[in-house]
Amino acid sequence: MNGRAPTLEDVAREAGVSRATVSRVINGIPTVDPAIREAVRQAVERTGYAPNRAARSLVTRRTETVALIVSGAGDVSGEERNAFTTKVFADPFFGRVVTGVVDYLRPRSMHPLLMFADSAQTRQQALNDLRQGSADGALVVSTHADDPLPALLADAGLPAVLFARPSRPVPLSYVDLAHRDGARMAAEHLLDRGCRRIATVTGPLGVSASQDRLAGFRDTMARRGHPYVPVAEGGFTFDSGMAAMSGLLAEHPEVDGVFAANDLMAQGACQVLRERGRRVPDDVAVIGFDDSSAARACRPPLTTVRQPVEEMASVMARLLDEHLRGARTEPTSVIFDPELVVRESA
């Protein structure tokens, strides 16, 4: 209280033992006499001692912190950058990632350090921060397929785990979804309910998840006798979903089923369809992807392909933790299975 915070030394003096013993008690090392342990406990209580993180990190070389890096692709800057962070968090997807990561970290008294890397400069900064030991490792969520960050991290030998398989192979662990399977489920569901004029609104094709979903969708459609599928590219936003649907409707007014690569775009599509007097699902069936909370909330509730984002993010954090503890050395990938959630829109 008198100016500076109590240190181990203070507690040791108070308890009448050595610094080392106090350290042992604090760190739960069992080879300490119960009586002494208790005495130390009380001394800690009395002094209001809290171990100094920096000092501990200095010697353990661990910070008990992991960086959660939201990584864009190219060289965004200024106003556009702001748009980046805004857009990132407008999508409920990232909230779910954060939730999952926190779920894993919290019980282990670890915290995520939030970083954005959406330009060469900020990417370098993130890399630097990591090299300086701001965090023990990184969890990377890329918004673009050719994100250079994973390779940079791997080259620098920094422990990192990715959300989604990198476009070029990188010796890092990652979690991902079987996007093709998800798209297949969507296609089959639309076909099974009798749709015959089926179109798709893809995500930005610079994202490999978008490509996989498109590929999976097309494959299934082709196999089921629909080699040609009208495609409109969206940007994973509500607005882009509206725009894509408008375009689709203009060129293919007879459309009776739509697979959108995420829920936000599916909602945008529903919006446009409603405005044009089409009933969902009676005139046009719409199916989304993600199973975000909005999918259940919106009208009609969205039939969608569930992606267990929170779970995936938790596993991502677990993989990193295992790498950090040395419990895992080889890059590993964990692929999750999607699940079709049938509600009212299709």
Partner DNA sequence: CCGACGTCATAGAGCGCTCTCCCATAGTGC
Partner DNA sequence: GCACTATGGGAGAGCGCTCTATGACGTCGG
Our finding on whether 19 is near DNA (CB under 7 A) is: yes
Residues that bind its own copies in the complex, under the rule CB under 8 A? 5, 50-55, 57-58, 61, 63, 65, 67-68, 82, 85-86, 88-90, 92, 94-96, 98-99, 102-103, 106, 109, 111-116, 122, 125, 128-129, 131-134, 237-239, 268, 271, 275, 293-294, 297-299, 310
Rank residues 97 and 198 by Cβ distance to its own copies and give the closer one: 97
Nearest C-alpha neighbor of 110 from the set 65, 67, 69:
65
Task: Report in angstroms how near the CB of residue 149 gets to DNA at its nearest.
Answer: 24
Structure tokens at 17: 């033992």
Q: Does 120 bind DNA (CB under 7 A)?
A: no
291 near 127, Cβ under 8 Å?
no
- Is 325 a binding residue for DNA by CB under 7 A? The answer is no
Among its own copies, DNA, none, what does residue 77 contact (CB within 5–8 Å per kind)?
Answer: none
**Could you tell me how many residues of this chain bind DNA (CB under 7 A)?**
27
Q: Does 17 bind DNA (CB under 7 A)?
A: yes
CB of 16 to its own copies, least distance (A): 24
CB of 32 vs DNA, minimal distance in Å: 4
Among 1, 14, 28, 33, binds DNA (CB under 7 A): 33
Residue 111 binding partner per list its own copies, DNA, none, with a CB distance cut-off of 5 to 8 Å that depends on partner kind: its own copies
**Residues at the site binding DNA, with contacts judged by CB under 7 A:** 4-5, 7-9, 16-21, 23-24, 26-27, 31-33, 36, 49, 51-52, 55-56, 58-60
